Structure 1
Amino acid sequence: MARRALPITAAALTTTAALLLTACGGSESPDDIKGADTASKSPSTSSPAVPESDRPDVSLPKDFRLVFDFDEPSDPDHAAALADAANYIRALNHGITQQNPDDPAYQFYSGAGAARYAKSQIQEYVDGGWTVTGTDRYYAAETSSMDGSKTTKTVMVTFCEDQSKAYGKEVKSGKVHYTEESLASYQKFSILMASQSDSPVWRAQHITVAGKAKECQG
């Protein structure tokens, strides 16, 4: 079971033990599904079948930037799954910056264990009086088809994170806690994405995050 510090190099925030959360989603079947960044050759942030007006706000403060260096997969389902995996990450960070553990954004882009994981991450920041600032980069994305069902398609999405230029910021004082780059700055995400036949939206169902990912460094 992978364990992960919150998505900031958190040594200066509080004690390390307090910031570590189990990054493991639930074991629900895909049939139980509920309904200022840049990219390089990245898939669009939303499917053309879903108007932007029908999707939640995932905007972030000007002092916090997400970068998705993702090459777009040739398979349309894989491209859509990767795009909404990025939206899940945006939504999680939107909840942190909004200080709202019940933010509708992450609920829109997730179900099952991935929704619980997002809420726990956001709650940890709120309880500690922290938000995020700087630049958080995601890259080296890969996708693979998984066994689904007659009504559900599933794709496993993996990618790396470099959070060496992302920092914790005290909500009340605005003080930024800068940290040095280390192996702890690199993490590897595995997210099971699923889409039901009656919806073009892909939602995160299960997430595992491995910390100190050497394969993501360099």
Structure 2
Amino acid sequence: MNTLEERQRQALGQIAEIKRISCAIDHALQNRTPAAVLVTSALHGEGKSLFASALAATTASLGKHRVAVLDLNWYRPSVHRCFGHELNQPMERIIQADLNELVAKNGDQSPDLLVAPIDHQDHTKMNGDVFGVVNRLIEQAKKSYDLVIVDSASIFPTNRMMMDPVMLSGMVDGVVMVVQTGVTPKQQVKRAYTIMQAAGANVIGVTINQHREPATKQ
């Protein structure tokens, strides 16, 4: 099999797996609509933003739900790159405006997108009722969409600006944790899961990223 065929086969397999996960999330939430799902991970760099983007895009393409993806990882935003968007709005506007004025609308069977603010690195602007701002954005999204995918920061290191997944978990209907197999220490995954459970989060699943089947002995 040539390289192109291998890539095509891999892509089809990934799409099929994301569809399966989408159906599993629907089942875990008892087909509740609207619903908001938080995607997080124990550590940075486990592929959660790519997973959140793929989940939103694939679920929207099925045509059963109106889908929005909110990038609330304002420390290391990357969802915009997954969709070929630029950061183009200041934090002040995102904090003050209604969600419908902020999202990039991508057309039928594609998710709408709220990207992080262009000045996301200036954490001094996040002083104030961050909890209230984020909760308002999620609640507004649930009024306009059937499924809201929220990409958040990793659980570790602890977020000092109250924009962490533990806080966000109380604003959503379910949490999915992404684990990069063979990279993330098991004790970190267990610790992260325990913290989310202790906070009352509804952890509906853990998805393994970059899973590889054991090599077959010749």
Q: TM-score range by the shorter chain?
A: under 0.3
TM-score by length of 2: 0.24
Larger Cα Rg: Structure 1 or Structure 2?
2
Name whichever structure is richer in strand by fraction. Answer: 1
